Amino acid sequence: MHVDMDAFFASVALRHRPELWDVPVIVGGEHRSVVLAANYPARRLGISSGMPAVRARRLVPGLVTVPPDYDAFRTVSAGVFAIFDSITSRVERGSIEEAFLDVTGSTRRLGSPTEIGELIRATVADEQKITCSVGIGPTRFVAKVASRQAKPDGLVEVAPDRVADFLHPLLVEELWGIGRSTADSLNRLGVRTVADLAAIPKTVLQHAFGPRYGAMLADLAWGRDGRRVTLGAREHSTGAQETFAVDTADPRIIERELLRMAGRVAHRLRKAEQLARTVSITIRYSDFSTVTRSAALPTPSDVTSELHEVAVRLFAKLARRGKRIRRVGVRGEGMVPARRTYRQPLLTEPEHGWRDLEFAMDEAGAKFGSGAVQRLALVRRPVGTAAGFGSDTGDEQGPRPFLGGSSAQGGAAEPARQ
């Protein structure tokens, strides 16, 4: 069984905004950023995720933009996967919004595969207020293609003896594993449907596409897939990145954004009860060249200042004088469980340090909103006032990242995240 949430990011963003359900909406997409997600009315007008926001607005004048809420995305995803775990212990996470489930052992307890699929759809809709599509088949590949055919908000089951009947009328580009370039190559050979593909001998496909990929295409045409649901997959890293509204070469602005990104990464690590052993940074310059550097932490950490210290050190080694920067990113890698990892304290450390403070900040944020408590260095600094003090009016010194919604600090705005 393959279960896929329908337009997940957009659906979560619009759960409590029914007035926008039938209106073209994108998530993210402020200024120079890209579209994080689009709802189905927007998709029908040609908008897709990854599209530049400027292009999306030219395509659909009056397009509604809503800011992303990453805490809500993670909370809803966790709720959805809790539903999966109540159905079967054999769950393979595909992403934050999809999973493969082996429900073979659940049929005696919960009924037929179709009944289980409908139970999942109903429970997700009731508990999380979003919809999902379910594909059921004898293999992972068939289940994945079936869930695509079920979208949005549907269920398609393919019986083992009906696989060819299901697949062969489809266009080759509808198959999971066939990208646009491969579909174009097949079209040039006169292959437009899966039935056309199934009629070509494997040796011919191997000659045209190579031994391994040609054999895979031959198997896909008949729904053959020997892979099983893989258990125990988990995330090994977490990160955050920011695109500036105006390219900048000012190291103070860049280091401040590295602090903001390190804070988001540290918060996500604490929420996942993980520590990072390595910090990496990504810098994209105004000419779109991108470099990545990483370094190990002295001890695994989920503390903002410790991650930021390494990030700044990495940036200092990269700095190219006068070269303007478009985007910065921070990532915590080599994640290990916090409960099973010993952090060596220093003799100079107080009994309660930054880590305790950040847990308190997390609690305040959960109760009053993510902007309830902020570091002074990240509060807007109007011209003519001391850092973090004075009114929130006037021009700000230096370029700012995208603004993506109000925070709880005197109207200060938090940058939109990609």
Residue 395 is predicted with a pLDDT of 35
Longest dimension (CA), the chain: 75
For the domain spanning 237-378, the CATH number is 3.30.1490.100
The predicted structure's pLDDT at residue 162 = 95
Report the pLDDT value the prediction gives residue 346, as an integer from 0 to 100. Answer: 59
Within a 10 A sphere around the Cβ of 348, how many other Cβ atoms?
A: 5
Contact 301, 307 (CB under 8 A): yes
For 210-301, list the strands marked E by DSSP: 237-248, 274-285, 290-301
Which of 30, 92, 97, 98 is catalytic? The answer is 98
What are the residue boundaries of the structural domains of the chain, listed by start?
A: 2-70, 163-220, 237-378
Is 127 known to be catalytic?
no
Inter-residue long-range contacts of 259-263, CB under 8 Å, 24+ positions, other chains counted: 259/304, 259/308, 259/375, 259/377, 259/378, 260/378, 260/415, 261/311, 261/328, 261/329, 261/330, 262/304, 262/305, 262/307, 262/308, 262/311, 262/330, 263/304, 263/308, 263/375, 263/378
Q: Residue 169 carries which DSSP code?
A: T
Closest C-alpha among 1, 4, 7 to residue 25: 7
Q: What CA–CA distance (Å, rounded) separates 113 from 104?
A: 8
pTM of the model: 0.62
Per-residue pLDDT of the chain (418 residues; tens, 9 = 90+): 999 999 999 999 999 898 998 999 999 866 667 888 999 999 999 998 888 888 898 999 889 999 888 888 888 998 999 999 899 989 998 888 999 999 998 998 899 999 999 999 999 999 999 999 999 999 999 999 999 999 999 999 999 999 999 999 999 999 888 888 888 989 998 999 999 999 999 999 999 889 988 999 999 999 998 888 877 555 577 888 888 878 898 989 999 999 999 998 998 888 888 899 899 999 988 887 888 888 888 888 899 999 999 999 999 988 666 688 988 999 998 888 887 655 555 566 655 567 777 877 777 777 776 667 777 777 754 333 333 333 333 333 344 443 333 333 333 333 333 3
Query: Is 196 marked within a binding site?
Result: no
CATH of 2-70, one of 3.90.870.10, 3.40.228.10, 1.10.287.180, 3.40.1170.60: 3.40.1170.60
What per-residue confidence (pLDDT) applies to 89? Answer: 87
Considering only the top CATH level, what class is 163-220?
A: mainly alpha
Query: Fold match between 163-220 and 237-378?
Result: no
Question: Rounded distance, CA 223 to CA 373, Å?
Answer: 53
pLDDT of residue 4: 96
Q: What backbone phi and psi angles, to 5 degrees, belong to 42?
A: -70, -40
